[in-house]
Amino acid sequence: MSQPMMVAVAPNGARKQKSDHPALPITPAELADTALACKDAGACMIHLHVRDKQGKHLLDVDAYSAATQAIRSSVGPEMIIQVTTEAAGIYSIDQQIAVIKGLKPEAVSIAVREFCNCADHLEKVAQFFAWLYKERICPQYILYSVEDAIGFYSLRNSGIILGDSLPVLFVLGKTPSLSNEFYLTNMIEAAGEDIVWSACAFGIDEGKRMLEAAKLGGHARVGFENNTQLISGEVARDNADLVAQLVSSVKGKDRAIASGATARVLWGMT
């Protein structure tokens, strides 16, 4: 029997605006309402981006704290709140590290190609990863390609990335050639053993790709960050629509849907 399937929601991302979808959450109150609706639909985690007053991508301790407090007040203790370190072409490695050290969230996403793309940064990055491990802040490593997965495997072997059963997110569909089940399988194999992998996908194929991930025993992240359409081609009413679509397709078949408590166990957070 496969592990219960973790369903995470990525409700806004770094770039999309209300013009992309009127239900895209931006403010702490909107993020809190979205988190509750998605939790009720079956999501165990929210992947959190915050914005500045102009709606632009922001890495900021105070903004993250306000959004986290609003979400936690709305959903209670069970849902995992994961913050992003995405640079979005704006922030340096030092700024990415500083915001996480200032915030000390329970979980954080880290794009390996952003943090480990320069040999000059590796000592600094290794110290940061060791700090995450010591502070018991759960990292999820984001991999966009087989090459990223090979690099992740090398970083583990060299002792820069620490821990067992590491959470990994495979990103599919930025280009058509990187969107199918065969490519996903290649990434899984390249990343090595002892990982707890999830997938997300860009565009209308998101729903289909997540069902493939479910079949392969992985976990899933859906949401307006990557896609606003249902498998039918209709525009989703909100992020909870995308969560509910996946949960209804998976639940009662070969996979149960993981609660936040179960997800924390699977990710070694307890």
- Residue range 179-237, pLDDT digits in tens: 556 788 999 999 999 999 999 999 888 999 999 999 999 999 999 999 999 999 999 99
The pLDDT score that the predictor gives to residue 181 is 63
Domain assignment present for residue 207? The answer is yes
Tell me the pTM: 0.95
Range list of β-strands (E), the chain:
7-9, 45-48, 50-51, 57-58, 80-84, 107-111, 138-143, 166-172, 195-201, 219-222
Domain assignment present for residue 130? The answer is yes
Domain span holding position 107: 7-266
Domain assignment present for residue 230? The answer is yes
The pLDDT score that the predictor gives to residue 5 is 96
pLDDT lower than 50: segments of the chain:
176-178
Nearest to residue 206, comparing CAs of 236, 165, 166, 161? 236
Beta bridge partners of 257: 5
Q: Which two tokens stand for residue 28?
A: 């702490």
The pLDDT score that the predictor gives to residue 2 is 78
Tally of domains within the chain: 1
The pLDDT score that the predictor gives to residue 182 is 73
The pLDDT score that the predictor gives to residue 262 is 96
Domain assignment present for residue 1? The answer is no
Domain assignment present for residue 2? The answer is no
Neighbours of 50 (CB within 10 A): 23
Q: Which two tokens stand for residue 76?
A: 């209670």
Domain assignment present for residue 89? The answer is yes
Domain assignment present for residue 138? The answer is yes
DSSP conformation letters of 164-180: SSEEEEEEE-SSGGG-S
Give the pairing type, strands 57-58 and 50-51: antiparallel
CATH label of the domain that carries residue 160: 3.20.20.70
The pLDDT score that the predictor gives to residue 187 is 93
Domain assignment present for residue 72? The answer is yes
Burial state string for 178-211 with b = 16 or more CB within 10 A and e = fewer than 16: bbbeebbebbbebbbeebbbbbbbbeebbbebbb
3-class SS at 101? helix
CA distances from 103 to 76, 121, 131, 164, 203 (A): 19, 22, 13, 24, 32
Rounded CA-CA distance 60/124 in Å is 20
